[in-house]
Amino acid sequence: MFVACRKEVVFKTSNSQVALVVDAILTNDSLFMIKLSQTQAINDNSLNKFVSNATIEVFDVDSNIISVLSYLKDGQYVSNLVKAVPNEAYIFKISHQNNVFWANQAMPDTLKTKILDTSRLLFQGVSQFFQIKYDLQDKSQLKNYYGLKIKAVFESINNQDTTLLTEWLPIETNEFVLVQDANFKFSKTNLLFSDQYFNGQNTILNFGCANLFNNPNKKIKYLVVYSSSLSVAAYQFFASMNEHQFYQNDPFSLPPPLQGNVAGAYGGVVAQYMKADTVRFK
Amino acid sequence: MRLLFFCLILFLSQPFAIWAQEEVLDQKISVHLKQANLEEVFQKIESKLNVKFSYAQKTINTTKLNYKFKNEPLRVVLNAILKPSNLTYTLMYGNIIVITNLNTSTPKFNISGYVYDQETGEKLIGALVYNNRTFQSCFTNQDGYFTMQMPKDSIYLNIEFVGFEMGVLNTYLDKNLKVDIGLIGNLQYSPKRVTGAYGTGIESRSDGFVLNSKTIRRIPLLFGESDVLKSLLLLPGVISGNDGTTSLNIRGGGSEHNLILLDDVPVYNASHLYGFFSIFNADVVKSVKLIKGGMEARYSGRLSSVVDVRTIDGNKNKFKAQLSIGLLSSKISLDGPIGKSKKTTFFVAARRTYFDIIGEIFNLSNTLPVKTSYFFYDINGKVSHRFNASHQLSIAFYNGNDNSYVNNTISIKNPNREIKEKDKQNIFWGNQIMSIRYHHVWHPKLTAWLNLSRTAYNFGNENSYQYSENTDSFKFENTLANSLKSSLNDWILSYNLEYKLNKFWAIKAGVGAIQHNFSRRIKFIDDNNVVPKYTDNTLERSQEFNSYFDVKYDFKNLFLINAGFQLTTYSINKNVVSLPQPRLSLMLPIVKRLQLNSNYQRTTQFLHLLTGYNLGIPLDLWLPSTQKAQPEFSDAFSVDLNYAFRKFDFRVGVFKKFLYNVIDYKDQSNYLGTTSNWDEKIEVGKGWAKGLELMFEKKVGKTNGWMSYTLSKSERQFSGINNGNVFPFKFDRRHQFAVLVNHQVNQKFDFFVTWTYASGSRITLPETFYNITDPRYNRQQIYIYGERNKYQMPDNHRLDFGVNYKRYFKTYSTILSVGVYNAYNRFNPFYVLPSYNSKGERIFEGISLFPILPSVNYKITF
C-alpha cells in the first residue's frame, strides 16, 4: 500500500572502547577451539580484528591444567589432543593485554535420537512438504535444553556443471513442544526448546521442510538433522542470538545484547552434545 | 417567558473610520440647556456631534435640566447631565453612547439560554457571550448553554464563535430571561449567502485551542483525508510522532498521556491503519478542543492533555445527506430532524476503506491460493431529543474496526484421493462506544448532566488450520486453532453540576465512577488431541471513584482565578490508593487586549500503555497500575501572554512539566505479545519537559491563517535503562514550526497551503559490532547499541497544498478537492536501520513511506 523510498542517512557515531570477543561452541568429541577477536566501530569496514597474542588455558574442576590452546590462524586457538567429554566441566582462562577473562562450562549429557519415518504430504498449503517423524529421548528428570537444525545438500545443475550446495532449511511444524517455546518466533533454522512438556520421557516430534523438490535445477541429495543437547549457557546464548537477529530488522525495537558467560568480554564459551541423523534421497 | 431574538449581523470590516474612544469623548461641544429632559439633551448632542445615544426608556427619567456648556469636552457634559439621575455611560461600537443605571443596589436577574447555528440548529460549544458595558463574559458549556447574572438595566451582549458572524443582543433586563440565540456561519456554502468575514476557525483559549469542524475539513492531509488529530499538529506545543501518524506528544508527554474523548467518553485507541488515520469522521465532528494546561478539575485519567471531540446533534431544520469519495475510502453521513416538532434530531455516519476490494480484484487475477488484505470501517451516530428548554437526552454510539487477514485455501481432487486445506490468519482491533447523556437545567443558575457510558477496546489474533484427506480406505480430519483476544472494557457513570452563583462566582462539581475490565482469552485446540487443549481466561478488574470541584472567581475584569480539586480513589485486587489532583489558573488582563494566563495542574493516570512502536497499532497494550508499576502522575506549570489586536492574535507561552512513574521497556526487552508478567519487563522512572510556544494568527479576512513555533526539550530517566543516565525522550524535537495559509478566491474556489518543519526525533543506533559463530557455523554480526535516543533523525519538513472547487445547485452542492501531500518530495525517513551500500560498506538506511502524493476527493451534499 505504501511505496517505500530508501536512502542513506549519515550519522556521526561515537567510537566506544574496543573490547574482547570470545567465540566458542564446545562440541562432544571435538578439540577445544576458541576464536578471539575485537569489537569494531559501526562504520569500520575493515576486515575482522582477530586477536593473535592471547593465552588460553583449560582447567578441570579441580584446577588442574588440561591444555594450553595453540594459535592456529584468524583468531583461532585450538587444543592439541584434548577433546570435550560429555558430563565433564571445564574452566577457561584467557589472558590478553594484561587482562584476564574467565569462563566456566559443563558439557551436556549424551543424546539419543532416531528418525522413525519420513513422508511427503500437503502441509499449510504447500505440496510435497517433506515431513520427518523423529524420536527424541529425554535423559533425566532435570531440566534439559535442545536445539534442532536441518541442513540440506543439493546438487545444483548449471549447463554442464554440477556443484554441491548446502543450505540450512527453515523447519515448519505444528508440534506443540516446539511451537510453544518462546524462541520459536525468532528463528526457524535454529529451533530451541526445553523438555518442559516431556520431562524424562521419549517424545515423537513431527517436523519438516518445504520446497525441497520444486526446483528442477536443484536436486536434493540428502538432509542432515542435527539435534543438540545444550548447556543452560548455550541455550541462553543461542536464544539471545536468535532474538537479536530477529529484531535487527525491526525498526522499532532494540535487539537485546547476547547473554554471554565471559565477564568483561562479549560472546561466550558454550557447550553442546550434537547428534546428526541423515536422510538420503535417490 | 422565553424570547427569541434574531441576530444583527455586524460587519467586521466597516467602511467608516473607527475613532479611538478618547477622541470621541474629547470632542468639544457648546450647548445651552433650559428645562430640557434627558431625551431632548441627547437629541441636541446628536445633532451637533457624530454620536448616537442608546438607552431604554425605562432607564431615563423626565427630570428637567438647566445647563450651559461652552466648548466643553463631551465627557464633561455627559458626567454633568447624567449624575443627577444616577446614570452612567459607556462608549461602544465606536460612537454609540450607551446609558445605564449607576445604582449598585439594583436588583439582579439572570439571562440564560442556548447559542446555536442558525442554519442547522446545532448547539455551539464554547461560544463567547460578552456584555459590552460591564465586560462580563462567559462561554457556552458543552450543551451550548450559558447563564449570566446582571443588574436590572439595558444589556448589550455580543455573541462570538469562530466560523460565525458576531451576534448582538440588546434588551432591557427587568426579569429572569431565557433566550435562544442563533448565529450565522461565515463559511457557509450557499449561493445566497450574505458576504461576511472569513476566518481561520480556530480560537485561542487560556487552556488551549478550539477548532471548529469547518476548519478541520478545510485541511485535508494524507491521501486527501481530513483528520481531526493531525490538524492539531499545526498548533504550538503539539509535537508530531512518526511521519504521517496521528501520534500527539504534548509538552513532553507521550501519546498515551492524552485523554481523547468522544462526546465525553474516553477512547483507548484513536487510530486506524496502524496509526495513520484517526477514528474520527471529520464530517460529523462539531468541534475539537485541545487543553494543554489549565485543565479543569473534572478532567482526569491522563497526564498531558485533553482532546475533547464533540459530534453534531443533527440538523434541526432539514434532512441532509453527504457522500464523499476519496482515493482510499468513502464516507456517507445522514442527519436531520425526526418528526415535525423539531425536538428530535439524529445523525449517522459511516466510512470504509477499499484496500480489500482492490486486493480482491488483484487476487482474482492471481493464481496463488493465498489471499491477503486489510480494511477498516467505522460507523457512529446519535439521537438527541429536547423535551423542553430544561431537559435534553442524547444517545450516541461508535463502532469501528480494523481487520488484517491472510486466507489460504487448497483443494486437490483426483480419482482416489481428495485433500482440502484451509489456513486462516486474522488480526483485528477496534473500539466500541455507547453513551447516554441527560442534560437538565435545574434553575437558570444551575445546570447538570448525567453520563452513563461504555467504552471498549478489543484486539484479537486468530489462526486456524483445517486439514482433511479422503481416500477409498482412509479418512482423516484435523483442526488446529488458536486465538488470543484481549480487551479493555470500561463502564463509566458521572454526574456533573455547574452553578453560576453571581457575576463573580461560579462553581462546578461532580462525582463519577469507572469500572475497568481487562480481559485476556487464549484458546488452543487440536481435534486429534496430539496437543493438549489449552485455554486461559484472565479477567482483571480495577475501579476508579472520583469527585471534584472547581471554583471560579471573576473580580470585575481585573483578574479571574479558577481553583479546582479532584480526588480519585483507585482500587485493584484489594489494594486501594487515593490521589489528589489540585488545579489552579489565573487570568489577568494587563492592559487592553493583553492578557496573562498562568496555570498549574496535577494530573494522575491509573492505566499504563505498553508501546514498543508508538504507532497506535494494536500491539500496544493498556494495562492497570500494579504494585511495581504505580499510578503515573505529573505536575505542570505554564504561563502565556495573549495579545489580540484587530484581525490579529499573538500568543507566547512557556511551560514546565514533571512526570513521575512513567514506564518503558527495559534495555533487553522488546514487545511482549502477551500481558504475562509484563511489569517484570519494564522499568519505572521519571521525566521532565520545558519549552516556549509562539503563535501568530490572522484570524479573519479572505486570506487568513497562522504560524506556530515550539522550542522544547523533553527527557527521561530510569534506573534500569541507559545505566540510569538521563536520556532524551523519543519525540524530543527541539524545534517545530508550522504555517497554514487559507485563501478564499471567490465563492467557488479556495485553496490552502501548509508548511511544517520539525527537528528529527531521537533514535538509538548501534555504535559498535562484533562477529560471532552461530549454531549453524555461520558468522553473525551482533550490534552493540549506544546510549538510548542519543542520535537525532534528519529534520522533517514538507509542503502540502490543496484546492477546493465548490458548485451549488438547486437541491445539492458539490466540492471537488484536489491536493498534493509533500509537494517537493522531501525524503522524511519513517525509520532507520543498519544496512549495506552497493559496495558492501556498512551504512544506515532510512525508509520513507510518503513521497509526493496527489489526492482527489469528491463530496456531494444534499
Out of B669, B783, B846, closest to residue A248 by CB: B783
Which of residues B212 and B262 earns the better pLDDT score? B262
Distance, CA of B584 to CA of B568 (rounded, Å): 17
* Grid cell in block for residue B675: 500481558
Of A11, A149, A272, the CB nearest to B776: A149
- Partner-chain contact B773 A255, CB within 8 Å: no
**pLDDT classification of B592: cutoffs 50, 70, 90:** confident
**Considering only alpha carbons, which residue of chain B is nearest residue A272?**
B775
Q: Give the pLDDT confidence of B721-730 residue by residue, as tens digits.
A: 999 999 999 9
- Respond yes or no on whether ipTM tops 0.95: no
For an interface test with A, which of B374, B424, B761, B768 has the most A Cβ atoms less than 10 Å from its Cβ? B768
Nearest CA in chain B to A204: B530
- Cβ of B670 and A189 within 8 Å? no
Identify the weakest region by mean pLDDT among B94-103, B203-212, B350-359, B652-661: B94-103
Residue A85's CB is within 10 A of a number of other CB atoms, namely 11
CB contact under 8 A, B847 and A255: no
CATH architecture of B1-191: Sandwich (2.60)
What pLDDT sits at residue B491?
Answer: 97
Confidence of residue A35 (pLDDT cuts 50, 70, 90): very high
Contacts of A168 (CB under 8 A, 6+ apart): A149, A150, A151, A152, A189, A190, B776, B778
Residue pair B665/B682 in contact by the 8 Å Cβ criterion: yes
Name the band, by pLDDT with cuts 50, 70 and 90, for residue A250: confident
Strands B128-131 and B87-92: unpaired
- Chain-centroid distance, C-alpha A247: 17
Chain B nearest C-alpha distance from A161 (Å)? 26
Query: Does residue B227 have a pLDDT over 50?
Result: yes
Output the pLDDT for position B533: 55
Cβ pair B610, B621 in contact under 8 A: yes
- B775/A190 CB distance under 8 A: yes
Using DSSP bridges, classify how beta strands A5-9 and B370-388 pair: parallel, antiparallel or unpaired. unpaired
Which tens digit of pLDDT belongs to each residue from A201-249? Answer: 778 899 999 878 878 788 889 999 999 999 999 999 999 999 898 888 7
pLDDT tier at A125, thresholds 50, 70, 90: low
Would you state the pLDDT for residue B528? 52
Of A9, A21, A122, the CB nearest to B772: A21
pLDDT in tens, B337-385: 998 888 999 999 999 988 777 666 665 545 555 666 788 999 999 999 9
State whether B782 and A45 contact (CB < 8 Å). no
CATH 2.60.40.1120 segments of chain B:
1-191
> Any idea which residue has 469528491 for its cell?
B858
**Shortest CA distance from A260: residue in chain B:** B772
Closest chain B residue to the Cα of A271, Cα to Cα: B775
Q: Name every chain A residue with its beta carbon within 8 A of the beta carbon of B484.
A: none
Q: What is the pLDDT of residues B401-419, one digit of tens each?
A: 998 877 777 777 777 778 7
pLDDT tens digits along B36-66:
888 888 888 899 888 888 887 777 777 888 8
Query: Is residue B195 pLDDT above 60, yes or no?
Result: no
Mean pLDDT lowest for which of A9-18, A156-165, B295-304, B793-802?
A: A156-165
For residue A42, give the nearest of B480, B842, B851 by CB distance: B842
Smallest Cβ–Cβ distance between A241 and the set B526, B768, B780 belongs to B780
Distance to chain A for B240, nearest Cα, Å: 17
User: What mean pLDDT do residues A108-135 have?
Assistant: 84
- Chain A residues whose CB is inside 8 A of the B845 CB are 6-9
Q: Using the predicted structure, report yes or no on whether residue B326 has a pLDDT greater than 90.
A: no
Radius of gyration of chain A (CA): 21
Amino acid letter for position B776: R
Nearest Cα residue in chain A from B532 = A176
**Cβ separation of B842 and A6 shorter than 8 Å?**
no
Q: How far is A16 from chain B (nearest CA, A)?
A: 7
- pLDDT, one tens digit per residue, over B595-613 is 899 999 999 999 998 775 5
Note whether A176 contacts B526, CB cutoff 8 Å: yes
Stated pTM of the model: 0.84
Which of A38, A127, A258 lies closest to B782 in CB terms?
Answer: A258
Strands (E), B74-163: 87-92, 96-101, 108-117, 128-131, 137-139, 145-151, 153-160
Please report the domains of chain A, with CATH numbers, ordered by start residue. Answer: 20-106 (2.60.40), 112-229+274-280 (2.60.40)
Question: Which pLDDT band, with edges at 50, 70 and 90, does B12 fall under?
Answer: very low
**So what's the pLDDT on residue B359?**
64
Q: Which of A8, A40, A272 sits opposite B770 (nearest CB)?
A: A40
Whether pLDDT at A64 is above 90: yes
Q: What per-residue confidence (pLDDT) applies to B816?
A: 92
- Closest chain A residue by Cα to residue B469: A122
Calculate ∠ Cα B468-B474-B479, nearest 5°: 25
pLDDT digits (tens, 9 = 90+) for B198-208: 667 777 777 88
pLDDT at B14 over 50: no
**Count of residues for chain B?**
862
